[in-house]
Structure 1
Amino acid sequence: MSGETFDTDIVIVGSGAGGMTAALAAHEAGLRALIVEKTQYYGGSTARSGGGIWIPNNYLMQRAGVADSFEEARTYLQATVGERSPQASRDAYLTHAVDMIAWLGKETDVQCSYMLGYADYYPEKPGGKAEGRAVEPQLFDGKLLGEDLAFLRPPVIPTPAGLSFTAGEYKQLGLVKRTWQGKATALRIGLRLIAAHLSGKKMLMMGQALIGRLRLSLKKRGIPLWLDTPLQDLVIENGRVVGIEVLKDGQPLTIRATKGVVLAAGCFARNLEMRLKYQKQPITTEWTVASDGNTGDGIQAGMRIGAAIDLMDEAWWGPSSLPPNSPPFFHVAERGFPGLIMVNQKGQRFTNESASYVEVVQAMYRLHTPDNPHVPCWFIFDQRYRDNYVFASLFPGQKIPQEMLDSGYIRKADTLAELARQLNIEPAALTATVSKFNNSARQGEDVEFGRGQSAYDRYFGDPSVTPNANLAPIEQAPYYAVQVVAGDLGTKGGLVTDEFARVKTTDGRIIKGLYCVGNNSASVMGATYPGPGCTIGPAMAFGYIAARHAAGIERSAV
């Protein structure tokens, strides 16, 4: 590619949390940093996320008096991830993530709060924490970004202007009709909304708050971020990556980077050809909530120069539904509330519905066959559930919009047998499944799948329901069903890296000058999802590691 040349020390491809953290760390180390972003918006999939950051033994845990250690976290990752990712990379993450989040909290606008009680996803495994290890960004006034606010990637589902809440508050909001804490949370959120309107603030929450805080930190340091600047290829000289080729304002430009290139360009969730090639079937690009720009550009650029890839068949899966005229809805809390089950096309339960969302979709795919379809499957619930809990965008007891019924998004029937006929399920099978579940619910024990035994299950349960916060009979007509697809937050396969985030070739050599972080890389979490924020936490940590290695602060033998 011909064209003009721009010189810097380090160039980062992608403007999610991993890329922004890399830029801030590079600047801290005395390097000139530049971020290039393919789309018209900055923030990537991070801006569309819940914003959780999984950081074991972090300083906010310590302040809260929750004990943790490197050794406990190491044991937990061994028990969950196992050997599916390199031990050296897991150790590097656990070591440097602690320093990274503390540095951001002290030196930048990235202010976080500890998510006390948001358990690890497998808290009963060795080293697991029922109290949780995640932090989340504090709410943020987007007006502090000035004109740059308009270029922040919008959330998946727009919220009313000024409405803002934390992940913990969202969980409590789902129990607004069931607990005094839920009612108090709703009141607090309402008062915050009024205050925002009176003060003129534009409150950002979750992933947008994290990106907003990172963006403000970049602005204060004068770190440039170029939008509408897609990566075209990597530039190699004498076996080393020395820059990238991009299109800027529609014109070719070569960006030379003396210290290195960091690929933080996200996953390939929006690339149908790649998904069909590498992933389980059935699959589509229509079920993901990943950023529209996530078409695998960075992964493909690495592969063209011999980079190894791994985990391409995996994603950050989650049971999702497809509301009419709306993006997919990624279901987290709804599966924990008592009185909802999931059934396959034969009307059978097949998993603990309250388990980690990745685990639930992995079960869908593992059990899926042409003779016994599990992708898609169905949520089944009743009027008691509708009266008491949030489901997708519907508040407890809210009248279901006619569009949801007319489109078939929500199926409704006066009997389970009639509901089954609508779903093309044998009525006797669904009736028997619900009857068996109801007996278990009344006893407070899910003898089939152990729902409610884990502290993670109970986090999204209803504490007013005893003896099991995740179980209640499905017996109050009318009955409802919603189709469930294998949605995701993004794919998790990509370029293979070492503990310094350096990209490796198919024969194990280091590609000098090339780093890769976030969903552009093969996840350090392997095929599992140990806790909330295990996407963003490693993206930020390895962005920090990559920048410091490029600056010569983190040394290696190679």
Structure 2
Amino acid sequence: MVNPRGAAVVLATYDRWVRAVAQGKKPLTMGQALAGALRAGLLQAGVPVWLNTPLIDLRVDSGRVTGVLVSRGGVPTLLKARYGVVVASGGFEHNDGMRDRYQRQPIGTDWTVGASSNTGDGITAGLAAGAEVALMDDSWWGPVIPLPGEPYFCLAERTLPGSVIVNQQGARFVNEAAPYSDVVHVMYDRNAAAPHIPAWMVIDQNYRNRYLFKDLAPTLPFPDAWYGNGALVKSGTIAGLAARMGVPAGALQSTISRFNGFALTGRDLDFRRGDSAYDHYYTDPAVLPNSCLAPLWLPPFYAFKIVPGDLGTKGGLVTDARARVLSPAGAVIPGLYAAGNASAAVMGHSYTGAGATIGPAMTFGYVAANHIADTR
């Protein structure tokens, strides 16, 4: 039964969206809307925001951080901070040297969807000021399809019914609907024993006919460029698809047949896909008996290359409960605070759900500002 109030809200929201677009405005939703509201708050409070002003280093006097040295218009500029500096500069996902030093291979900057300006400058400056770091080996991982021009963070597509992810032996190895960080942790953990990077996500034409993929409406053909760079292969048979993927045909056929049996019964006996409420976040309630599971049966069949991408790195400066940056000995570095992906994530190696990055970033930014105000 449709909730009339909910339907009215959806229609009103859609109407505002259409009117905004007609006026030449760009509506923002989800995380972008949150960031937009924060930016509007800064404007209302008269807080200046300097764009294209990279950090060079922290200013340290007698062990206390007293300012930052930045490059503004190519000119080194010292900004003095009487009460404290909050490092909230993001992670190091676009720093090849740091990724090579701290993280497992294969890794690189081509698979991340993090902001290109996230090159670890704040973390590096914190290290130079004597800070401790932690969780540098980890990221907010997620399966990524290396499409030409830009990697695509594969979220809903891998959890919708009628898709499976297999390794280079043609075997499933993970619950495809699990939290995205967990999926990549498994890829790395098992890659040493047998190749799991890249992996492949296999779908059929029935899946393609039903669901949006990236920004492509159902039934529309995938772009030729996706095939051209090897991110996507296609065949009228499972055996032909396996040949183009470079995996054993018999193993892939066996995997698909077994998965199809699970789809018919509604129980994934191998990886329990669909057993948890989380698994059903991006699924199809019209598919029964389990909205996470549907058989792959309608040719042609498609396989997307899957690599370990991320939304950003997770490691950074170690802080205490007041967001103050700590030294390796656990001592507070006076005048230095950190929040967001420039700090070691409060989530540790886990991922609790949507908002696990922006939530703590906002919280510890708030904590840092209050502590500065209370102790100045």
TM range (shorter): over 0.9
**SS of equivalent to 1:232:** strand
Match of 1:491 in 2: 313
- For 1:412 and 1:201, the matched residues in 2 are separated by 39
- For 2:219 and 2:125, the matched residues in 1 are separated by 50
Match of 1:24 in 2: none
| TM-score, length-scaled by structure 2 | 0.94
Q: How much does 1:192 deviate?
A: 4.8
Q: How much does 1:497 deviate?
A: 0.4
Equivalent residue runs for 1:348-363 within 5 Å: 348-363=171-186
Letter in 2 for 1:354: A
Deviations 1:387-412 (A, max 9, x none): 01122222211122223233332211
Select the residue among 265, 271, 275 that pairs with 1:453.
Answer: 275
Letter in 1 for 2:265: Q
Match of 2:253 in 1: 431
Match of 2:203 in 1: 381
**Which region of structure 1 is more displaced relative to structure 2, 183-192 or 485-494?**
183-192
- For 1:417 and 1:394, the matched residues in 2 are separated by 27
Select the residue among 381, 392, 395 that pairs with 2:214.
Answer: 392
- For 1:484 and 1:196, the matched residues in 2 are separated by 36
Match of 1:208 in 2: 32
RMSD: 1.9
| 2:341 and 2:361 in contact (8 A); partners too | yes
Select the residue among 176, 182, 187 that pairs with 1:364.
Answer: 187
Letter in 2 for 1:321: I
Q: How much does 1:185 deviate?
A: 11
Match of 1:163 in 2: none
Equivalent residue runs for 1:53-68 within 5 Å: none
Equivalent residue runs for 1:75-114 within 5 Å: none
| 2:317 and 2:344 in contact (8 A); partners too | yes
Select the residue among 195, 218, 224 that pairs with 2:19.
Answer: 195
Match of 2:112 in 1: 288
Distance change (3 Å), C-alpha of 1:184 and 1:416: farther
Deviations 1:438-463 (A, max 9, x none): 11111110000000001011121111
Select the residue among 81, 100, 105 that pairs with 1:276.
Answer: 100
**SS of equivalent to 1:512:** strand
Percent of aligned positions with the same letter in both sequences?
49
Equivalent residue runs for 1:84-483 within 5 Å: 191-325=15-149, 327-369=150-192, 372-483=194-305
Q: How much does 1:207 deviate?
A: 2.8
- For 1:536 and 1:280, the matched residues in 2 are separated by 25
- For 2:272 and 2:40, the matched residues in 1 are separated by 45
| TM-score, length-scaled by structure 1 | 0.64
**SS of equivalent to 2:83:** strand
**Which region of structure 1 is more displaced relative to structure 2, 436-445 or 394-403?**
394-403
- For 1:544 and 1:401, the matched residues in 2 are separated by 45
- For 2:8 and 2:145, the matched residues in 1 are separated by 29
Note the residue ranges of structure 1 that are not aligned, 5 or more in a row: 1-182
Match of 2:4 in 1: none
Note the residue ranges of structure 2 that are not aligned, 5 or more in a row: 1-6
**SS of equivalent to 2:84:** strand
**SS of equivalent to 1:226:** coil
Distance change (3 Å), C-alpha of 1:519 and 1:411: same
Q: How much does 1:191 deviate?
A: 4.8
- For 1:355 and 1:409, the matched residues in 2 are separated by 22
Deviations 1:93-141 (A, max 9, x none): xxxxxxxxxxxxxxxxxxxxxxxxxxxxxxxxxxxxxxxxxxxxxxxxx
**SS of equivalent to 1:552:** helix
Match of 1:507 in 2: 329
Distance change (3 Å), C-alpha of 1:187 and 1:397: farther
Q: How much does 1:190 deviate?
A: 6.5
- For 1:294 and 1:484, the matched residues in 2 are separated by 23
Q: How much does 1:193 deviate?
A: 4.8
Q: How much does 1:265 deviate?
A: 0.7
| 2:86 and 2:337 in contact (8 A); partners too | yes
Distance change (3 Å), C-alpha of 1:265 and 1:541: same
Count of residues in correspondence between the two structures = 370
Deviations 1:527-546 (A, max 9, x none): 01112101000000000000
Deviations 1:326-366 (A, max 9, x none): x2111111122100000000000000000100111111111
| 2:111 and 2:151 in contact (8 A); partners too | yes
- For 1:472 and 1:482, the matched residues in 2 are separated by 18
